[in-house]
Chain A
Amino acid sequence: MNYKLSRYILGQIALIEAAFLLIPLFIGAGYKEDTLLAFALTIAILLALGIAFTLKKPEVLALSAKGGFSLVALSWIMISLFGSLPFFISGYIPNFIDSFFETVSGFTTTGASIIGNVEAMPKSLLFWRSLTHWLGGMGVFVFIIAIMPKAEANIVQLFRAESPGPQVGKLVSKLKFTARILYGIYIALTLLEVLLLLVGKMSLFDSLIHAFGTAGTGGFSSKNASIGFYNSAYIEIVISIFMIIFSINFNIYFLLLIGNIKQVLKSEELRVFLSIIAVSIIIISASLTLNAVYANFGLAARHSLFQVASIISTTGYATADFARWPLIAQMVLLLLMFIGACAGSTGGGLKISRVIILVKSGLREIKKTLSPRRVSAIKFEGKPLDTAIHHSVLRYFGIYMIIFFMSVLLVSIKMEGTASAFVTSFTAVASCLNNIGPGLAKVGPMGNYAALSYFAKIILSLDMLIGRLEILPMLLLFYPKLWINK
Chain B
Amino acid sequence: MNIVIIGIGKVGLTLTEQLSKEDHNIVIVDKSKSVIEKAVNDYDVMGVVGNGASSDIQKEAKIDTADLLIACTSSDELNILSCMVAKKLGVTDTIARVRNPEYFKLFMSRELGLNLMVNPEYEGAMEIFRVLRSPGAIMIESFAEGKVDLVELKLTQGNPAVNLSVSQFVEKFNINLLICALQRGEDVIIPKGSTILREDDQIYITASSQDICNILRKAGFRKNPLKNVMIIGGGRISFYLTKELEKISAKVKIVEKDEAKCLDLITQLDKVEVIAGDGSDQQILIEEGLKSADAIVILTGSDEENIMISIFAKNAGAQTIITKVNKLSYYSMLRASGVDSIISPRLITANQIIRYVRAKQNSKGSAVLNLYKIVNDKAEALEFIVTEKFEGISKPLKELKLKENLLIANILRGSEFITPHGGQTIEKGDKVIVVTTQGYLKDLNDILK
Contact = CB atoms under 8 A, between A and B. Distances in A.
Interface of A: 65, 150-151, 154-157, 169-170, 172-177, 386
Contacts of A170: 46
B244 interface: no
Contacts, number: 29
A172 B2 CA distance: 10
Contacts of A172: 25, 46
Given A65-B41, A154-B42, A157-B41, A173 B33 contact: no
19 contacts: A65-B41, A150-B23, A151-B44, A154-B41, A154-B42, A154-B43, A156-B41, A157-B41, A169-B46, A170-B46, A172-B25, A172-B46, A173-B2, A173-B25, A173-B45, A173-B46, A174-B44, A176-B44, A177-B25
User: What are the 3 A-B residue pairs with the smallest beta carbon separation, nearest first?
Assistant: A173-B46, A173-B25, A151-B44
Contacts of B25: 172-174, 177
A156 B46 contact: no
Contacts of A173: 2, 25-27, 44-46, 62
Given A173-B2, A173-B25, A173-B27, A156 B33 contact: no
Nearest to A386: B33
B40 interface: yes
Contacts of A150: 23
A88 to B, nearest CB: 39
Contacts of B26: 173
A26 to B, nearest CB: 36
A386 B32 CA distance: 13
Nearest to A171: B46
A177 B24 CA distance: 12
Contacts of B40: 156
A168 to B, nearest CB: 10
Nearest to B4: A173
Contact of B44 (A169, A175, A386): A175
Nearest to B61: A173
Q: Which of B2, B23, B44 has the most chain A CB atoms inside 10 A of its CB?
A: B44
Contacts of B45: 173
A116 to B, nearest CB: 47
Contacts of B46: 169-170, 172-173
A40 to B, nearest CB: 36
Contacts of A157: 41
B48 to A, nearest CB: 10
Contacts of A176: 44
Nearest to A159: B44
A156 B40 CA distance: 8
B141 to A, nearest CB: 27
A57 to B, nearest CB: 12
Interface in B305-362: none
A472 B248 CA distance: 65
Contacts of B62: 173
Contacts of A174: 25, 44
A155 B46 CA distance: 14
Contacts of A155: 44
A30 B2 CA distance: 48
A342 to B, nearest CB: 21
Contacts of B44: 151, 155-156, 173-176
A156 B42 CA distance: 8
Interface in B374-433: none
Contacts of B23: 150
Contacts of B2: 173
A357 B243 CA distance: 61
Contacts of B43: 154
A169 B47 CA distance: 9
Nearest to B42: A154
A380 to B, nearest CB: 15
Nearest to B41: A156
A230 B62 CA distance: 47
Contacts of A151: 44
B4 to A, nearest CB: 9
A72 B211 CA distance: 58
A480 B379 CA distance: 39
Nearest to A65: B41
A173 B44 CA distance: 7
A350 B33 CA distance: 26
B317 to A, nearest CB: 42
Nearest to B440: A150
Interface in B13-29: 23, 25-27
A150 B439 CA distance: 14
Interface string B38-72: 00111111100000000000000010000000000
A157 B40 CA distance: 10
B250 to A, nearest CB: 46
Nearest to A175: B44
A151 B46 CA distance: 14
Contacts of A154: 41-43
A462 B287 CA distance: 76
Contacts of B33: 386
A151 B41 CA distance: 13
Nearest to A176: B44
Contacts of A175: 44
B54 to A, nearest CB: 14
Contacts of A386: 33
Interface string B143-178: 000000000000000000000000000000000000
Contacts of A169: 46
A151 B23 CA distance: 9
A169 to B, nearest CB: 8
Nearest to B40: A156
Nearest to A170: B46
Given A150-B23, A173-B46, 20 more contacts: A154-B41, A154-B42, A154-B43, A155-B44, A156-B40, A156-B41, A157-B41, A169-B46, A170-B46, A172-B25, A172-B46, A173-B25, A173-B27, A173-B44, A173-B45, A173-B62, A174-B25, A174-B44, A177-B25, A386-B33
Contacts of B42: 154
A238 to B, nearest CB: 36
A69 to B, nearest CB: 12
